[in-house]
Amino acid sequence: MLRIGWIIFYFLLFASFTACENDIHSIPGLQKNNLTVDEVTNAECYFSQEGNVQAKLIAPFMLRYYDSIPRVEFPQSMHVDFFNANRRITSYLDAKKGRYFEQQAKVLLEDSVVVIQTGGDTLRTEKLIWEQSRHSFYTDADIAIRQKTKTIYGKGFESDEQLKNFRIDSVTGVMMVQGGQFSE
């Protein structure tokens, strides 16, 4: 009986030494393999604040990453309807790609970004950043803003969420038009 006790003791001692061996270079590889990603097809998300629906997002494909930078990505396209307090649509947003960084409350929109106000003003650019905490949009890319009587072209842009108070860093041109002469 004593002999079996010693065998078990030596086995546990041997197992504890062999089980605790780690290669410092293998740890980053183990972390990469544990990346959790949720995939959603035909996503439809509603965003509300204080019980009021603020926006509705529709995307054919969505990825949610749970790593050191938690984020949601829309690699195929996205469409967002924004609502006022009466649940009427005030503006639309379309982009071919989008990323939402949760911790920073920041949205990066890329590739054929279009924001249309129901009043008719339209913003077009290839990159637009939406800072939710500052309630503002901005970009350093080329932009075009179509209004009822003119289209303004420029580079660099900052605006409130309603696109009513905006600043263009470098206006490169203004094209005056008569009302109703725009075609989509």
Mean pLDDT in residue range 42-46? 90
What percent of the chain has pLDDT above 70?
77
Q: Which of the four pLDDT bands, split at 50, 70 and 90, describes residue 11? A: very low
Taking all residues of the chain, what is their mean pLDDT, rounded to a whole number?
80
Q: Full-prediction pTM beyond 0.75?
A: no
Neighbours of 30 (CB within 10 A): 9
Mean pLDDT in residue range 34-61? 86
Sequence ranges of the domains in the chain: 33-176
Which pLDDT value is given to residue 162?
A: 72
Residue 59 and residue 99 in contact, taking contact as beta carbons nearer than 8 Å: no
Write out pLDDT tens, residues 139-156. 999 999 998 888 999 999
Write out pLDDT tens, residues 73-112. 999 999 999 888 888 998 899 999 999 998 888 999 999 9
What is 22-75 written as a DSSP string? --GGGHHHHHHHT-EEEEEEEEEEEEEETTEEEEEEEEEEEEEEESSS-EEEES
Fold for domain 33-176? lipopolysaccharide transport protein A fold (2.60.450)
Helices (H), the chain: 2-19, 27-33
Which pLDDT value is given to residue 157?
A: 92
Residue 2 has pLDDT above 50, yes or no: no
Provide the 3-class DSSP secondary structure of residue 78.
Answer: strand
Q: Which of the four pLDDT bands, split at 50, 70 and 90, describes residue 19? A: very low
